[in-house]
Structure 1
């Protein structure tokens, strides 16, 4: 059986690549600035999408043009906003923290679906949401109750939390996705992401903090454009195709696990007791929420 027909292998690879994105964001410090990384990532990803989906994009252009406002909002919130905040957060927090907070997205989506679509939430799902929120709060407070009472949170953790809330909103809004095939749809969002990242890059340049990539920076850009930006998207779409969105979505829970392994292993980050407790709470909350599905 081919790798592309093995859902568990390709979904495990997908989450490993996404966790690697957190590592790459930390490795990028001093080699390429966050907004430069965001823009050049989308240049690379869009180039690859043009190669594989350009023809389909042209064929479905009437539908794309008819829904351009919706696509523009989705691209700005789900792609540009998430990635810009993701790479900016890496200046202030660790890859382990980024991965654990990113792992809370499934529960944020569950809560968002209830608020927007009034999707029924069972008591167990409600408990799961609360447990996950406690885990993220413990992580942001670094295990110190004084941080919670003084609201002295790490800026990077707060930026990552906002990024995840935006991506959860994007995911909830996908329920109203227009009738556009997957690859042209993704290419349209990538095009919006590139265009909308340019003002952020301009602001970074005017502020004097823009950093053109050196050799290491280009290698990081190559990684984030090809693997998280392109391969992981195709892998995840294939996983959804093979086992359905519900079961495939559960694999997102592996992102904080991979990050907890890769952060200390590659970056030498400290894995403290509160990381372990937060990880257990986030994964436990998701498990409780999933067990409460109708």
Structure 2
């Protein structure tokens, strides 16, 4: 009878201890798979941006517009600059050399856009806010032509016209008397102006300083925080500001965590994965998600003119961005 060998002395086949699957592919954890899925990240990003439109309506009576605008960036700047302090220090010479550009871009794209959108929430619906945001890509196309003389082909021009028709349908609430009497709702006009501002920001960032996207975003967030403080001060001086209610604090927390921080990180990651061109197309989901959220969360009613306007806006974008580039 062969001698017994203690179990701890037995030679072990290394393959028994190797956790690598036989096919050589290491399985990823769920967070890793999500982090590598650009399309999921972009869908979540645009869902958060659409949620910002709903937040502008939820905030009415809960937190004043300039308080929401200012405190949003105050809390972002309480977190992000500290986390990015080494990167900011490394790129400070570049930022300093382009300080006028950085200040203008942050003030227009982050402060002015959000301040106008939160003001618009007092006199228009979240559905309208979302659909009007859908016109931003077309405003970008026009802005690129004005700023850089980027050529606009016939189909792109048609797309611009169709989208602008959709904007007019929203702004007029489907009533031609509003157009003939120029009796637009203030909130719709504010949102159109906000969209113009964001389009200008989008055109401007094509010539941004060479640095990681998160570093640039942090610099703009600091500018937005500083630029929003005078607006908050004016609101207080005029007696229009008020202390946030408990619901107002929850709305502020949502805006800080999701549209301000997580969505930006997701978007930057998606751009790394598939490039800015393909990632930018997903912005067109905002006017789709916003009305859906507005109906389910706010109980807003979709009207026939909303459907017509959404079809015109998305149709115009398709003509301009897809057919026009062939």
| The two structures share one fold, judged by TM-score above 0.5 | yes
What's the CA shift for 1:15? Answer: 0.5
CA distance in 2, matches of 1:232, 1:55: 22
* SS of the residue 2:52 aligns to: helix
**Alignment partner for residue 85 of structure 2, among 51, 54, 58?**
54
Do the aligned residues in 2 keep the contact of 1:99 with 1:255 (CA within 8 Å)?
A: yes
Q: Which runs of 5+ in 2 are unaligned?
A: 1-27
Instruction: Answer yes or no: is 1:22 the counterpart of 2:53.
Output: yes
CA distance in 2, matches of 1:176, 1:246: 15
Instruction: Answer yes or no: is 1:123 the counterpart of 2:123.
Output: no
Which protein is richer in helix relative to its size?
Answer: 1
Instruction: Answer yes or no: is 1:229 the counterpart of 2:260.
Output: yes
What's the CA shift for 1:51? Answer: 3.9
Do the aligned residues in 1 keep the contact of 2:46 with 2:282 (CA within 8 Å)?
A: yes
What's the CA shift for 1:293? Answer: 1.3
CA distance in 1, matches of 2:35, 2:77: 22
Do the aligned residues in 2 keep the contact of 1:80 with 1:196 (CA within 8 Å)?
A: yes
**Alignment partner for residue 3 of structure 1, among 29, 34, 38?**
34
Do the aligned residues in 1 keep the contact of 2:214 with 2:268 (CA within 8 Å)?
A: no
Instruction: Answer yes or no: is 1:196 the counterpart of 2:196.
Output: no
RMSD (Å), alpha carbons: 1.0
CA distance in 1, matches of 2:40, 2:155: 30
Deviations 1:242-263 (A, max 9, x none): 1111111111111011011111
What's the CA shift for 1:13? Answer: 0.3
**Alignment partner for residue 256 of structure 1, among 262, 287, 295?**
287
Higher-Rg member (1/2) = 2
Structure 1 stretches of at least 4 aligned residues deviating more than 3 Å after TM superposition:
none
* SS of the residue 2:211 aligns to: coil
Residue of structure 2 in register with 1:217 after alignment: 248
Residue of structure 2 in register with 1:271 after alignment: 302
Deviations 1:106-136 (A, max 9, x none): 1110111111111121211111100000000
CA distance in 2, matches of 1:72, 1:114: 23
Deviations 1:139-187 (A, max 9, x none): 1000000000100001000000001101101111112212232222111
Residue of structure 2 in register with 1:293 after alignment: 325
Q: Which runs of 5+ in 1 are unaligned?
A: none
Do the aligned residues in 2 keep the contact of 1:92 with 1:156 (CA within 8 Å)?
A: yes
* SS of the residue 1:211 aligns to: coil
Residue of structure 2 in register with 1:104 after alignment: 135
CA distance in 2, matches of 1:59, 1:81: 28
Q: Which moved more, 1:63-72 or 1:251-260?
A: 63-72
